[in-house]
Every structure is written in structure tokens, then in C-alpha cells.
Amino acid sequence: MMFEVVVVMNQDDWEGDIGDAIRKDLLSDVPGLPQSEPTMKIMYSSPGQFDGMLTYVRNILRVTIDPKLYTKVSLHTQKDVWANGQVVVRMNAPDGSSIIEYMGVHERILADYYTAIERRRLTAQLEKKYHQPLTRKIEDKFGVTLKVPTTFSACKEDGENFFWASDNAASGRTDMVVYTFPYESEETFTRNYLVDKRDSVLGVNMPGSFPHSCMTTETAYAEPSYKAITVNGKYCGELRGLWKMKGDMMGGPFVSHARVDEVNNRIVVVEGFVYAPETDKKNYIRRIEAALYTLHLPGEDTELPEVEILP
């Protein structure tokens, strides 16, 4: 299953403070959602019981504590140990207290790593199988490549610099937008600038069902977060938070990437958002976020980079 991990370690350690520290990390909330949803689903196994089907799970964490072998906490990754596409993280430590301290300093190190691994798997699938007509529309309109999920069925391309597509699902609806604007200064890459730009663009292009209703960013209930990430080896501004329909009752989570198209001296923004009031939202936002990573600007390499775990 997606976002599932098998933790293999001594049972006494798992049931004590060491296990608490690892569970706190792996079960930490998915960021940017309106309610609490854990990042990973955990299965536990003692070393002696780790065999059979458990060895084929694609995400595995093996924790080894031995003061004779190790002097500090270290994390190492192995691929395809028991199954193709599998990633095994080995956490080695001299004692339990060093693990607890390490996990306190490096918050979400495991959750973020496994999230990146699963996202890369989703992106790799999308690179191979995607909605070709909608993907071609984006390429013709903007001169960039962005793989649209095969589940999408509708689009709108009013305006010179705006494109919208949706799966129009009756339950768990997912949408994607693309828009561009001139790159004028580094001040573009701030939370306030990108939120203001988002509201101005979507306010015009994403009207609601009622008069004077339109999409905007929720800032009263939960402030959106901004951070710099790397996509295809280049700087990217990631905005994550909640959207709402002004004058209506609709809302949900969104995530957007803003990147500099150096060839055309412009900012290209790709965003995915979800409307799923009746259910958990994490897997919907994860799938559409994976699509954002398929964006290739003019002249960019199309190879997916490897995911590294940082100590």
C-alpha cells in the first residue's frame, strides 16, 4: 500500500520511549490539511518475525541498537533488497537515548523521506501514463511539459496565461491550474507575494456558483506555509495551505509550485487543489502534488532525481 512502512526492531524498544519517538515522526500530520491525518501507516515486526510477505513491503525501517558496533546514530538506505522498487532505511545507534535525541533534533526526517519516496513513485508512474490531449494543450499554450493525470476529463483555457483542468469527480474532486506572469524580482518568492498573486489570478479565473463568489486563499483559519524546495535541480517556491470559495461553502487543501522560466523570463505556477468534504484528503493531495513534479521548463532535463535522506 501507498505510504505504509514496516518497522523492524526489538519489541521492548518498540514498546518504550524509542518506539514512541519513531511513531511520533512517522505518524506526524500531513502538512497543509484542514484536519489531522497521519503521514504513514505503520506495521511492526520483531527481527525474528520479519519474513514472508513482510519482506516485500516497499517501505521498510530496520532499527539496530548495538554499542559494540556503533558510536552515533546513522541512517543508510538500500534499494531493491527483497523486491523491485523497495527502499529500506537502516537506523543504527549505540543506545536508545541517542535515537530519542536524534529524532528530537531531526523532526520528520523519516516521514519526509518516505513521503518523497512515495511521491517519486507516483511521479514516475505519471511520466509514463498521462492524459495526452490535456498535456498537449498545456504544452501548446505555455511551452512547458506538465503531465495531467488520466482521471482528468475537463479543462478551461480562458485567458492568455491561465489553464484549468479537473477530474470532476463526484467524491474527492481534484483540480489543477497553470498560470504565468513576468519575473520582475526575487521578492516574488515570498509567501505574501505568491498568496496575493494567487488570489488575484484565481479570483478572476475561478468564479463560484453564486454571484460575486470566487476562489481565494484561507488566511484567517490557517495561514498558508511557504518554503524553498528544489525541483529538477532548480529553485522552487512551494506554497501550501487551504483554499475557500468566497461567498460559498466550498474549501479544501492546495499546494502550488512557483518556478522561474529563465528562457522566457517569467514565473510558471502549477497548483493542485482538492475538494473532498466527506473524507480524508491526504491521498488526493499527494497524487496531485506528484503531478506538479512532472513540470519541465524549457531546456530542463526530464530525468527524475533520486531522493536522498539527510542526517
Q: Please write the tens of the pLDDT for every residue from 226-240.
A: 999 999 889 999 999
Q: What is the pLDDT of residue 130?
A: 96
What's the pLDDT score for residue 160? 80
> What integer pLDDT is reported at residue 233 of this predicted model?
87
Q: Which of 122, 147, 172 finishes a domain?
A: 122
Model confidence at 196: pLDDT above 80: yes
> Residue 310 pLDDT > 70, yes or no?
no
Q: Is the pLDDT of residue 59 over 60?
A: yes
Residue 300 lies in a domain: no
Q: Write the CATH number for 147.
A: 3.40.1000.10
Instruction: For residue 311, name the pLDDT band (cuts at 50, 70, 90).
Output: low
- Which of 73, 89, 122 is the last residue in one of the domains? 122
Same domain, 106 and 134: no
pLDDT recorded at residue 222 = 87
CA pair distance 23, 265, nearest whole angstrom: 45
Cα 309 versus chain centre, distance: 16
Please tell me the distance from the alpha carbon of residue 22 to that of residue 111, in angstroms, as a whole number: 10
Predicted confidence band at 212 (pLDDT cuts at 50, 70, 90)?
confident
Selection from 18, 70, 66, 79 nearest residue 44 by Cα: 18
113 in the same domain as 215: no
Q: Give the Cα-Cα-Cα angle 206, 271, 307 (nearest 5 degrees).
A: 170
Q: How many domains does the chain have?
A: 2
Do 145 and 217 share a structural domain? yes
- CATH number at 71 reads 3.30.379
> For residue 211, is pLDDT > 80?
no
User: Which of 195, 216, 193 lies closest to 204 in space, CA to CA?
Assistant: 216
Are 111 and 255 in a shared domain?
Answer: no
Q: What average pLDDT does range 121-133 have in this prediction?
A: 95
**Confidence at residue 132, expressed as pLDDT on a 0 to 100 scale:** 96
Residues 102 and 174 in one domain: no
Higher confidence at residue 245 or residue 28?
28
Q: Would 55 be classed as within a structural domain?
A: yes
pLDDT of residue 219 exceeding 60, the answer is yes
Do 116 and 172 have their domain in common? no
Cβ atoms of 235 and 228 within 8 Å: the answer is yes
- 141 and 64 in a common domain: no
Residue 24 lies in a domain: yes
Domain ranges, residue 48? 4-122
Q: What percent of the chain has pLDDT over 70?
A: 98
Q: pLDDT, tens digit, for every residue of 102-115? A: 999 999 999 999 99
